[in-house]
Chain A
Amino acid sequence: MSIKTGVFVCDCGTNIAGTVNVPEVAEYARKLDSVVFVNEGKWICSVDYLSKIKQFITEHKLDRVVVACCTPRTHEPTFKSALKEAGLNPHLLEFVSIREQCSWVHKADIAVATQKAKDLVRMGVSKSILLEPAEGIRIPVGKECLIIGGGIAGMTASLAVAEQGFKVILVEKSANLGGILGKLDMVAPANVPAEKIIAAKMEQIERHPNIRCCTDTVVEQIRGYIGNYNVKLTQKGAAEDIKVSTIIVATGMREIEPSGLFGYGKYPGIITQLQLEERLKNKQLGPVKTVAMINCVNSKNDERGCCSVGCLISVKNAMAIKELDKDVRVYIINRDLSLLCAEPDYLKSAVAQYDIKLLRYSEDKPPDVFKSEQGGKVVKTYDILLGRDIEIAADLIVLTAAFQGDETAGRMKELLKVSANRDNFFQEAHIKLRPLDFSTDGIYLCGCARSPKRLKDTVEEALGAALRAGIPMKRGYIESEGIVADINLEICSECGLCHKNCPFGAIELAGKQPFVIKAICKGCGICAANCPKEAINIIHFTNEQILAQVEAALSERPQEQIIAFCCHWCAMGAVDIAGVSRLQYPANIRIIRVMCAGRISESFVNKAFQLGAAGVLVAGCEFPTCHYITGNYKCKEKMERLKKKLAGKNIEDKRLRTAWLSAADGPKFAKTVREMVKDLGL
């Protein structure tokens, strides 16, 4: 069956028609392979023209549509819905940007702009012939959630998931719920007993019909993916297999024992803040007259950042000591006190009311703990405000120790195939915009498993994670948009690289054979570009389609052309900003859009050079931003390797260039093109 392509070329008022000879472009399009219908419109995105497009699709039995107009970033959804409404699969649309990439940026010469517009349309049509219909791919998601960790984060999340009407299995490795909060005396700055908070939650959890609470229980194995997790639990030796759809990780944190630091373990009477909490809870401080707290133990150094909560804990516990015995002298030996929002006021009133002494040290002059000749412990510290050493004879020294992820975090990381930092705090999908997700769909995180934090922040994260897990369970399925990876198992050598490279855990191995969980696949193409056998294709951005664009671009005057492979997000963003800002740059550039720089295979670049392209530009998101987590990094490595190979083929270094752009980098994009054209002598 022969393909019938319709091409719609837009004037955009005078925005395109003012610089590009649109009738000439339309006439040219008529002669292209597969094109059976061409129409020019003043505004092809207007409501009345869209209904015309639908009419033309039906009338001329079009099965491919190419629009030559503005930019897919803003108008692709508009035209896709038009196709859909005309009964055509929306993936059979190809978008050619002759405004942002042509009329707005090559204003000086109508002939040049018109020629480039023709080339862009030719490239679009050549890709459109190879387009395939794609369907959204769904997998069902049930209504059961596994919550790992029974601290305040896990308890709060459990209640919030259960309240939405979903079933919860709450797993806690120890005998009691409560986690690290259960080890605390009071919670600052509101001074509420921690026990009271936990008791209230515990009562709600026990009463809730949707929550099954398993203490003394260990997660042994996790297999599967969103909607389909098989989990093995053991409770005091008894194994049980359960099926859940989503997982929330709330495994919390633990104090790092400060062995060998400030006399800890060497002299008696040197404890951590958590050990002090135990004494405060029992109202048993012991025979103590002077307490010296040393903050930032094991933190704010080369290995580790700020522990986030130590300063607040030290102030709170200093007050608690004074409450127990107002005659005890308390010193807080700190580096900068990291107290936030209204907490400086809390400190101020603590100091005023309880006469707590603050001493400030710097990293290069840490306090020293030693035994005096009389046998007592002495803390010697250089106070930067006084500018001299101070010696404190302390009978209790409290070290504000740093934290790290729970001892189970390392194993959990393996079970869930997720990442964590050096201290085994789990890595969120994006630190700013996806703080409660892992990059793998269906697994969420909250609380101190992510990083140390205050109770309020922990509770907020737990509530948020409960909603994130609730979204697919409420909807009952997850769906991908159809731009997904497709593995040709006949070519596949079962090396497993795709499984390793996928940032989303969307490629699983059955034995050694890879398979794509299509509903999770984001279509970045990192797997495809790095497949040694080129056995992977990305629907809508197939090797054949991209190579067809390359060929079409270079079918005329290849020696004048620069082929640019640009990622959809930031690189195309920069291209569009250059357009909107009317930045003028040479017309030698022919842009081919891919979703991610990670998609760009060596073979694309090689093909361009084979066909005689003057140069190739590879453009992706500036570091560290990548909308697919690792795509730009992978691309950069690949292009560096490729440059070396090309040198062997006598292809000069300057002919392949990379640019890492932000979506606001219109000027940088224009400058890159100008420089490249100059370097290549075009």
Chain B
Amino acid sequence: MNKPDSKNSILVIGAGIAGIEASLNLAAYGIKVYLVDDTPSIGGIMARLDKTFPTNDCSICIEAPKMYEVQKNANIEVLTNCEVRRVDGAAGNFRVRLVQKGRFVDSAKCKGCGKCVEVCPVTVPDEMDAKIGGTRKLIYIPFPQSVPNSYAIDNRCRYGKSKNEGACVGGCIIDCIQCRECPIAKCVKACKEEGADAVMLWQKDNTIDIEVKSIIVASGLEVFEPPTGFYGYGHYKNVITHLQFERLMNAGGPTQGDIVRPSDKSHPRKIAWIQCVGREKSCGIPYCSKVCCMVAAKQNIITKEHDESVETFVFYNNMKAYGKGFHEFYRRAMELGAKYIKGKPSDVIENSRTGSLAVRYEDIETGEVNEIEVDLLVLSAGLVPNSRNKKLAKTLKVAMDETGFFKENGSFGGDPLETCVKGIYLCGGAIGPADISESVTQAIAASLKAVLIK
């Protein structure tokens, strides 16, 4: 590859749907794009969702083609497992140091055959699906449509960190660069036998220096993790978050789309959602996360589509059906029989014999105090800033707001998406709660600002 012209290059940080859209638009504009993500695959949260509101499009069906486009595009250089370490310079000429962590599998050589997974002796809980029973091996593919579509090795495999769990190279302390000959590294051996020879346990971090004219921050957000014991979360197996429920619905999730409760894998007959989890004083989210009302409506609709006889309840306070087609979507959930109850439950008690949950609440509209027993309880937890924001803000020398999102410069709305540093722009979940459509719009708008830098 020729050394790209820094005057025509842009760095995009974060490869969720916002970063992907920004990259595709910039590449189409003739810009050389560096798309970095600190996980082993591009795709972000959207790749893990089942459906998108308000149309119930299958999430991966509409995102995966974009991911392949990114991979195919000659103007986009995808750098996964990669962090931004240092940024110097100014708009028009930022000098950026990236550090790409070892994937320990050569994506160019890996054929995705999965022999390495078969032989890997250590099973660990999956990052996203652990609470609903999802597991993976230490060598794994993040999800079937991952880009790059090759395996990666968990850092826990190395330096004896998983020795006690039975990891085959548990004794290694340093990268001796002799793994290829190692008699006990099973994945290396299996891959060699398959003829691909793609596993490289000895891979080192790679430092990459690039020059770009502008930077787009699309680092996304996270789902709030309720504190242990909150509505029984963490203590009672059948209390889960909406993201975990989404994974249960998903044909690509650990249950292949079978909605079963974690305690006994039975099909729940009654499910309740509690909205605005995280807004409580003790949890400390000071803003409305705006998507959770529609997420709950979607999950009610899909639940009813799976099995219309399942009874569903939604405890809510203010219905935020604000976007195009949202109110109609919420009404659809009600038409299908979802019962919306205005009020916030005060307490949840588990029936230790059945694993079901007694939910006590006051119905604000009737003033009555009531109790219902459900088989599965879903906490519609808010959206919170990405835990890596602080580090990234420091590296980029841009400001964060008091809640931990990146701060937009200027407040009247005339110049959105700008930071206090000229040439660095924001989009999507980096700024605050946003749905997919808003993230995409902001990504394209931020791209416009980024291309205008001379």
Contact = CB atoms under 8 A, between A and B. Distances in A.
Contact of A461 (B58, B60, B441): B441
B78 interface: no
Given A305-B325, A342-B287, A431-B324, A466 B364 contact: no
Nearest to B250: A664
B441 A621 contact: no
A425 interface: yes
A664 B61 contact: yes
B390 interface: no
A464 B444 contact: yes
A187 B411 CA distance: 11
Given A43-B196, A665-B251, A12 B113 contact: yes
A385 interface: yes
Most chain A CB within 10 A, of B30, B63, B412, is at: B412
Interface stretch (B180-188, B349-357, B413-421): B413-421
Given A345-B287, A466-B448, A197 B55 contact: no
B283 interface: no
Q: Interface residues of B toward A: which range?
A: 35 or more
Most chain B CB within 10 A, of A164, A197, A300, A336, is at: A336
Given A300-B327, A344-B287, A197 B440 contact: no
B318 A664 contact: no
A29 interface: no
B309 interface: no
Contacts of B251: 662, 664-668
Interface stretch (B21-29, B120-128, B129-137, B220-228): B21-29
Interface stretch (A90-98, A447-455, A482-490, A508-516): A447-455
A611 interface: no
A665 B256 CA distance: 9
Interface stretch (A246-254, A524-532, A622-630): A622-630
B413 A187 contact: yes
Contacts of A456: 413, 416
A663 B58 contact: yes
B366 to A, nearest CB: 8
By secondary structure, the B interface counts as: loop
A190 B112 CA distance: 52
A470 B29 contact: yes
Contacts of A434: 440
Interface stretch (B34-42, B159-167, B429-437): B429-437
Contact of B72 (A14, A77, A580): A77
Nearest to B366: A387
A282 interface: no
A42 B431 CA distance: 49
Contacts of A73: 68
A495 interface: no
B433 A450 contact: no
B62 interface: yes
B126 to A, nearest CB: 16
Contacts of A569: 61, 65
A374 interface: no
Given A340-B322, A433-B440, A627-B65, A460 B287 contact: no
Contacts of A625: 55, 57-58, 61-62
Interface in A434-473: 434-436, 450-451, 454-457, 459-461, 463-464, 466-468, 470-471
Given A430-B62, A471-B28, A341 B433 contact: yes
B444 to A, nearest CB: 4
A665 B252 CA distance: 8
Given A454-B413, A662-B251, A433 B113 contact: no
A474 interface: yes
B445 interface: yes
B288 A43 contact: no
A21 interface: no
Contacts of A460: 416-417, 441-442, 445
B327 A432 contact: no
A345 B286 contact: yes
A160 B286 CA distance: 34
Contact of B413 (A12, A13, A431, A455): A455
Given A431-B54, A622-B58, A13 B196 contact: yes
A483 to B, nearest CB: 15
A624 B319 contact: no
Given A431-B325, A436-B444, A474-B30, A343 B60 contact: no
Contacts of B451: 164, 467, 470
Contact of B326 (A305, A467, A622, A663): A305
Contacts of A32: none
A664 B440 contact: no
A580 B365 contact: no
Interface string A9-22: 00011110000000
9 nearest A-B residue pairs (beta carbon): A305-B327, A464-B444, A662-B58, A463-B445, A13-B194, A467-B448, A456-B413, A451-B324, A664-B251
28 contacts: A12-B111, A13-B195, A14-B115, A77-B72, A187-B412, A200-B414, A299-B327, A305-B321, A306-B326, A339-B318, A340-B322, A340-B433, A384-B364, A432-B436, A434-B440, A435-B440, A456-B413, A459-B413, A464-B441, A467-B444, A467-B451, A569-B65, A580-B144, A627-B65, A662-B251, A663-B61, A663-B64, A667-B256
Given A305-B327, A475-B30, A625-B62, 18 more contacts: A13-B196, A15-B113, A306-B327, A336-B318, A336-B320, A432-B436, A459-B414, A459-B445, A467-B25, A467-B445, A474-B29, A475-B29, A573-B61, A573-B145, A625-B55, A625-B57, A663-B61, A665-B251
Interface of B: 17, 21, 25, 28-30, 52, 54-58, 60-66, 68, 72, 108-109, 111-113, 115, 144-145, 149, 194-196, 250-252, 256-257, 286-288, 290, 317-328, 342, 364-367, 411-414, 416-417, 432-433, 436-438, 440-442, 444-445, 447-449, 451-452
